[in-house]
Amino acid sequence: MTDNLPRRPLQQAVALTYETGAPAPKVVAKGRGLVAEQIISVALEAGVFIHESKELVSLLMDVDLDQQIPPTLYRTIAELLAWLYHIESAQKSGLPLPAAPDSIPLTET
């Protein structure tokens, strides 16, 4: 039996971590559907900012857990980390939060 209800697209989520001195950020969680919803929920509860980019998530889904991101994504992730740094600085100083980056290149040129 099939239903004619519209289907929600399968959501995906990837969580990264970066430790000072490490060569590159690592993928520490990733998943689709309910797992993705749980990753997002945990991030929100922890006060972690979330950047939505289907294209970037799609590329990061190909990275194995506990593996570093590929060099082709270094610039993209560096720009996101810089944005997060500005958000944290703005929060501490009471300034308005910076807008999310409009377009972030997904490969090195």
Q: Does 75 map to a domain?
A: yes
Q: Does 27 map to a domain?
A: yes
Kindly tell me if the per-residue pLDDT of 93 is higher than 70.
Answer: yes
Instruction: Report pLDDT digits (tens) over 21-76.
Output: 999 999 999 999 999 999 999 999 998 878 888 899 999 999 999 999 999 999 98
Number of structural domains (the chain) is 1
Residue 35 CB: number of other CB atoms within 10 A?
14
Q: Does 31 map to a domain?
A: yes
Look up the pTM and report it.
0.75
Q: Report the distance separating Cα 26 and Cα 23, nearest Å.
A: 9
Q: Does 53 map to a domain?
A: yes
Q: Report the distance separating Cα 104 and Cα 97, nearest Å.
A: 18
Q: Does 7 map to a domain?
A: no
Q: Does 74 map to a domain?
A: yes
- Site of tokens 């090195």: 108
Q: Does 107 map to a domain?
A: no
Domain that holds residue 50: 12-93
Find the CATH number of the domain harbouring 42: 3.40.1690.10
